[in-house]
Amino acid sequence: MIYFVFVVLMGLVVGLMAVASNPAPYFAALGLVFSAVVGCGFLVGYGGSFLSLVLFLIYLGGMLVVFAYSAALAAEPYPESWGSWSVFLYILVYLFGFLLVGYYCYGWWYDFYWMSLDVFGEMSVLSGDVSGVPMVYSSGGFLLLVTGWVLLLALFVVLEITRGLSRGALRAV
Amino acid sequence: MSPYVTMILISSLGLGTTITFTSSSWLMAWMGLEINTLAITPLMVKQHHPRATEATTKYFLTQATASGLLLFATLNNAWMTGEWNTMELSNNLSAPMITMALALKMGVAPMHFWLPEVLQGLPLLTGLILSTWQKLAPFTLLYMTSHELNTTTMTILGLTSTIIGGLGGLNQTQLRKVLAYSSIAHLGWMVIIIQYSKTLALLNLLLYITMTSTAFLTLMTLSATKINTLSTKWAKTPIATMTAMLALLALGGLPPLTGFMPKWLILQELTKQNLPALATLMALSALLSLFFYLRLCHTMTLTISPNTNNNMITWRKKPGQKALPLAMLSIMTLMALPTTPTMMAIMN
C-alpha cells in the first residue's frame, strides 16, 4: 500500500513537471490528465474513494473537455515537447528543484501527519470523505447560497466576456 | 452591457469584499477574493478592444496566481497546525507565502509589475474601482494577520514599494500609469506601518482611497488621459483644474492638505519605534512621488500651454454629469487635515 502511494506521488511529480515544461497545450493537457488520474489514485490510497470518484468525474470530465476545445483552437503544426533540447533544460531545472526540496524535507517534514479517511470503515455509516458532502447542505447553509450565487455569476461573467452570439471569444480581433 | 448584468457584477463585487471582511476562516476569505476577481473581469473588458482584453487577461492571471498561492499557504497551515482561523496564523511556512500572495494581490513592490499595464488598458472608472475597492479585501487580510508576519519582509516590501513607486512614476506621460505608481507608493507606506500601528495603516488606506478617487474623478470630468491633453483642460473647467492641482499635491503629502496626515503620523510612529533611518528613507522616497505630482500640476494649472484653444470656458456643467461625488471627495481631500485627532479616535 505504501509502495502504491509512493508510485502515485512520483507519477504526480512527473505529471506536473510535464504540465509546467511543455510549451504546447497538447502535451501540457496530457500531463494534466495524467496528474489528475494519479491524484485520484492517491486519494484512493488514503481511503477517500468517493472523493476520488467525484474528482475524476468533475475535474477530468468537465474541465478537460474545455481544455480540449481550447487546445484545438490554439493548434500548432509542430508542437514542441519533451523531445527538444530547450524543453529538456526546463525539465532539468524542475528536477533539480524537486531534488533540492526532497533532500531537505525527506523523512521528517510532517510525513506522519497523513491520516486515512476511512479509519472506522467497517464500523461506521459515513467515512471521512463522504460526510463532507452533506455538511455543505446542513451546517454550511450560507456557504451553499454563496456557492450557488457564484456559479450564476460565473455564467454571466463568461457570457459577458465572450459576448455569445456576435463574437464568441476573448480575442478581440 | 445590460443593466441587469452590470447590477449583478457590482453587487457581486460588494459581496466578495463583504465576505472577506466578515470571514474568520481562510476558506471564506479566499472565496471573497475570488468572487471579487471574477466579478470585475467583465467590467474591465466591457469595451472589448484589444488593449482592454490584454489588461483583463493580465489582471486575471496575476490575481488567480495570488489567490492560488494564498489557498496553498492556508491549506499548508491547516494541514500542519489544524487551524483555519485567520487571526491564528502561526509562524511557519505559510506566513511568508501569505505575505507574498497579498502583496501580489494589491500590487506592492516587488510584485507590482502588472499594475501600470493593467491600469493603462482600462477606462478611468474601472481603473478607479480597481485602485480603490479591490485594495480593501486584501488589505483586510493583511490587517488581520500582520502581527504574525515577518518584520523584515514587511519592511523590505514597504520601502521597496515607496522607492519603486517614486522612481517608476518619474518617466510616465500616461496619467493612468502615473496613478498606478502613485498607488504602489501609497501601498508601501501602508505596508510599512501596519506592523507597528494597524490604525495608522487603515487611516492611510481610507485617505488614499479618498485622494485617488478625487484624482480619477477629476480626470474623468476633464476626460484627460495623457499629460499632453491635460495641458489644455484648464479651459474646460477651471475650477476642476484648480482643485485637481491641490488634490495632486495632497497625494504628494504636502501640508496643509489631507495627504499630510498619514505621512506625518506614520513618520512619527516610526520615530517612536526607534527607526529614524527608515523614516528618513521613506520621507526621501516620498519626494520622488512629489516630483511627478508637481509635474502634473505644472502642466495642468500653473502654466498655460501655447496652443490655441478650441473651446470656450464652460459656464454650466454638462447635463448628466455627476458633480456631487467629486465635490465631496475634493473637500475631504483638501480640508480634512484639522480633523486628525477625530480620525485617530475613530480608527482606534
Residue B338, all three cell numbers: 484639522
In this prediction, residue A166 carries a pLDDT of 64
- Cα three-residue angle B65-B132-B167, rounded to 5 degrees: 75
In this prediction, residue A167 carries a pLDDT of 65
Note whether B41 and A157 are within 8 A (CB). yes
Q: Does B41 touch chain A (CB under 8 A)?
A: yes
Query: Which secondary-structure segment (H or E) carries B219?
Result: helix B198-222
Length of chain B: 348
Note whether B21 and B135 are within 8 A (CB). no
**ipTM of model:** 0.85
How crowded is the C-beta side of A47, counted as CA atoms within 13 Å?
A: 14
**Mean pLDDT confidence for A33-55:** 89
Three-class SS state of A114: coil
Three-class SS state of B226: strand
**Mean pLDDT confidence for A47-69:** 86
Three-class SS state of B25: strand
Beta pairing partners, A24: none
Note whether B64 and B36 are within 8 A (CB). no
The pTM is what? 0.91
Q: How far is A83 from chain B (nearest CA, A)?
A: 29
Contacts with B45 from chain A: Cβ below 8 Å: 160-161, 170
Beta pairing partners, B174: B226
In this prediction, residue B82 carries a pLDDT of 83
Task: Tell whether omega for the bond before B276 is within 30 degrees of 0, i.e. cis.
Answer: no
- The full set of domain ranges for chain A reads 1-123, 128-167
Query: In angstroms, rounded to a whole number, what is the distance separating the alpha carbons of residues B329 and B7?
Result: 24
Note whether B173 and B123 are within 8 A (CB). no
Q: How far is A126 from chain B (nearest CA, A)?
A: 22
In this prediction, residue B322 carries a pLDDT of 85
Contacts with B19 from chain A: Cβ below 8 Å: 146
In this prediction, residue B317 carries a pLDDT of 77
Query: In angstroms, rounded to a whole number, what is the distance separating the alpha carbons of residues B262 and B254?
Result: 11
Query: In angstroms, rounded to a whole number, what is the distance separating the alpha carbons of residues B274 and B158?
Result: 17
Cell 470530465 locates to: A61
For A57, other C-beta atoms within 10 Å of its C-beta total: 11
Note whether B255 and B267 are within 8 A (CB). no
User: For residue B320, what are the CA distances in angstroms to B131, B221, B316?
Assistant: 25, 12, 12
**Mean pLDDT confidence for A40-62:** 88
Cα B195 to its chain centre, rounded Å, is: 19
In this prediction, residue B20 carries a pLDDT of 95
Question: Which has the closest alpha carbon to B114: B154, B60, B162?
Answer: B60
In this prediction, residue B121 carries a pLDDT of 93
**Mean pLDDT confidence for A94-118:** 79
Question: Given a cut of 60, is residue A164 above it in pLDDT?
Answer: no
In this prediction, residue B306 carries a pLDDT of 86
Which runs of consecutive H residues, i.e. helices, occur in chain B? 3-21, 26-44, 50-81, 94-106, 114-120, 124-145, 151-169, 175-193, 198-222, 227-230, 238-252, 260-272, 276-297, 324-335, 340-347
For B85, other C-beta atoms within 10 Å of its C-beta total: 13
Note whether B144 and B87 are within 8 A (CB). yes
Residue B176, all three cell numbers: 493612468
Report residue B287: phi and psi, to 5°.
Answer: -65, -35
Q: Which of A150, A161, A173 sits opposite B41 (nearest CB)?
A: A161
In this prediction, residue B126 carries a pLDDT of 94
Contacts with A153 from chain B: Cβ below 8 Å: 8-9, 12, 35, 38-39
Identity at B52, one-letter amino acid code = A
In this prediction, residue A150 carries a pLDDT of 95
Range with lowest mean pLDDT among A42-46, A92-96, B59-63: A42-46
Note whether B337 and B256 are within 8 A (CB). yes
* Chosen from B7, B23, B45 to mutate, greatest number of chain A CBs within 10 A: B45
Three-class SS state of B267: helix
Beta pairing partners, B25: B85
Q: Report residues of chain B scoring pLDDT below 70.
A: 91
Q: Is B180 exposed, middle or buried (0-12, 13-18, 19+ CB in 10 A)?
A: buried
In this prediction, residue A165 carries a pLDDT of 53
